[in-house]
Amino acid sequence: MPIEEALSSTMLRDRPEVTWKYLWEIAEKCRTTLPNRCHEILTNWQKHTPNTWILTQNVDGLHTKAGSQKVIEIHGRAATLRCVHCPFHTDGNRFLHDERRYHSPHVPKCPDCGHVLRPDVVLFGEDLPRRALKALEQLAEDGVDLVMSIGTSSLFPYITAPMQLAHAAGIPTVEINLEETEATPFARHILRMPCTEALESLTNNANFILPNHADND
Give the Å distances, CA to CA, from 163 to 89, 174, 189: 35, 8, 11
CA distance 149 to 213: 14
Residues 6+ apart with CB under 8 A from 67: 40, 43
Residues 6+ apart with CB under 8 A from 188: 167, 172, 173, 174, 212, 213
CA angle (7, 12, 13) in 5-degree steps: 150
Distance CA 172, CA 144 (A): 9
- Give residue 87's Cα distance to chain centre: 24
Q: Quick one: CA dihedral 120, 122, 125, 130, positive or negative?
A: positive
> Among 63, 75, 167, 189, which one carries the catalytic annotation?
75
> For residue 205, what is the enclosing H or E element?
none
Residue 115 is a catalytic residue: no
Separation between Cα atoms, residue 74 and residue 57, nearest integer Å:
5
Which residues are marked as active site?
A: 75
